[in-house]
A and B are shown apart, each in its own frame.
Chain A
Amino acid sequence: MELVRQYLMSLVAASIIVGIVTSVVRMKGGNNSVIRLVCGIFLALVMLRPVLKLEIRDYMRFYKDVSLDSSYAVDAGKNIARDEMHKIIKENLEAYILDKASALQLDVDVNVYLTEDLPPAPDSVTIQGAVSPYNKQVLQSFLAEEIGIPKEQQIWQ
């Protein structure tokens, strides 16, 4: 933008100079055709010269900075959505498992671990509390079939 500003300033200054020169020559009654030709060439040179010096390198760097800033903001939004989804899914699954455990009259603590994928899927579960072998088997089948956590990923404490 600085280049464009300088270009227009030089153009305006050249125009003012040309205007003053032609006015003075007209007042003195001189041969103004040569003067007008010279002034015209001068104005044309002023118009063309700065255009050749125009550089676009700075504009590419500016656009790169803008793209970087936008990617930071977008990544922040994606992380917020992913974290909230992770939290909601974890809480809901733990409540679902606790509800099943309550139906079996079990008093346990459940901690579900999710994957880092999007969307986060259940990866493993830790169940703490006293559980009879029969109820453990029922709960294991429930976790494997309905939640999708295989027996190898179920930790009983």
Chain B
Amino acid sequence: MKRILMLLFLVVLITVPVKAEEFTAPPVEGSAQDLLPEESTSFGEDIWYIFKEAISNLRPDITQAAGICAGLISVVMVCSVFGCYKPMAEKTVRLASTICIAVLLIKPSNTFIQLGVSTINQLCEYGKLFLPVMTTALAAEGGITSATGLYAGTVVFNTLLSTGITKLIVPMIYIFLVLCIAEGATGENVLKNLKDFIKWLMTWSLKISLYLFTGYLGITGVVSGTVDAASVKAAKLALSGFVPVVGGVMSDASEAILVSVRTMKNAAGVGGMLAFIAICITPFLKIALHYILLKLTAAVCAVLGDKASGKLIENFTSIMGILLAMAGTVCLLHIVSTVCFMKGVG
């Protein structure tokens, strides 16, 4: 009876919490902080809250996008009507419509390209603060091999992707736009293969980097996770059978630390994922809104009879799509990495 009471007393004492300040997601800077809920309820509800807040801030962008689309449709209509009355001035009309469409779309396109780049930089900067927190937490849980592999892989892919986007894909976007405007102005398919190659390179570089990263995480998770799980189990078995009383205390202390650290690590992981989504969602929705409306405008312009103008608008729209893919890829990379950290040992 005395031994039972003693054991119960020890169990109560074992529930000593681990320090919480090491394992919290770093705060988000800028406007993204306003999108985060003050009190976290469930993950789904928090995501919905972020989404609603981001949507509510879109009204000025809706007005701007509608204005651009109305301007584009007006230009195409006027040029189409003028072309009907002056069929000999076809080249002049095409040149004029191309210039007007380019003038209307170049500035917002440039704004969105810069917005996409700044979003990616913000995601990468937050990732640099967040990754060490999750790595430390996973190492404290016993996942030493997994933590090292996940940290190294995420940093390498993150750096390659962000550098590739800012140094390679963004200049390619501008070259692509120049070639599209030249095609619209001259009516000739200027360097079609080069244009197609640039578009293919931009799309496939993002896809391949995401596939490679996901594959790396999958392999790392299986290999290093198995090693870590075996190490943790072996250590526990060795403890409980080695020294009487003390071995039991050590084993229970180890279990208590694992549970505490895992709880805090998962809480930090959820906080980090919400932060990544909050950083990405407003620019994503802004670009997506313009993307959808420009797609619609391109379809309307094709109906009005001017296929070249519709194609030029379609090319600008594809750039918006690539910007969405860029921001989405970097955000998804960080979220997938966080989920792997949260999965933990075993």
Contact = CB atoms under 8 A, between A and B. Distances in A.
Interface of A: 1-2, 4-5, 8-9, 12, 15-16, 19, 62-63, 66-67, 69-78, 80-81, 84-85, 87-89, 91-93, 95-96, 99, 103, 119, 121-122, 146-148
Contact of A92 (B13, B167, B260): B13
Nearest to B138: A77
Given A8-B168, A119-B254, A99 B148 contact: no
A87 to B, nearest CB: 7
Contacts of A62: 159
Contact of A121 (B9, B152, B246): B246
B339 interface: no
Majority-rule SS of A interface residues:
helix
Contacts of A80: 18-19, 22, 136, 140
Interface in B4-46: 6, 9-10, 13-14, 16, 18-19, 22
Contacts of A8: 168, 172, 201
Given A1-B163, A69-B151, A73-B135, A84 B250 contact: no
B281 interface: no
Nearest to A15: B194
B151 A85 contact: no
Interface residues of B, number: 55
A1 B175 CA distance: 18
Contacts of A75: 139
Q: Which 8 residue pairs spanning A and B have beta carbons closest together?
A: A77-B139, A73-B135, A77-B140, A70-B151, A77-B136, A88-B253, A74-B139, A81-B140
A47 to B, nearest CB: 13
B10 A77 contact: no
Contacts of B19: 80, 84
B58 interface: no
Nearest to B254: A85
B319 interface: no
B190 A19 contact: yes
Interface stretch (B96-104, B115-123, B237-245, B322-330): B237-245
B207 to A, nearest CB: 18
A89 B250 contact: yes
A62 to B, nearest CB: 7
Nearest to A94: B13
B273 to A, nearest CB: 19
A87 B249 CA distance: 12
A75 B155 CA distance: 18
Contacts of B164: 1, 4
Given A66-B156, A81-B261, A85-B250, 20 more contacts: A1-B164, A2-B167, A5-B168, A62-B159, A67-B152, A69-B155, A71-B148, A74-B151, A77-B135, A81-B139, A84-B16, A87-B16, A89-B246, A89-B250, A89-B253, A91-B16, A93-B246, A93-B249, A119-B235, A148-B243
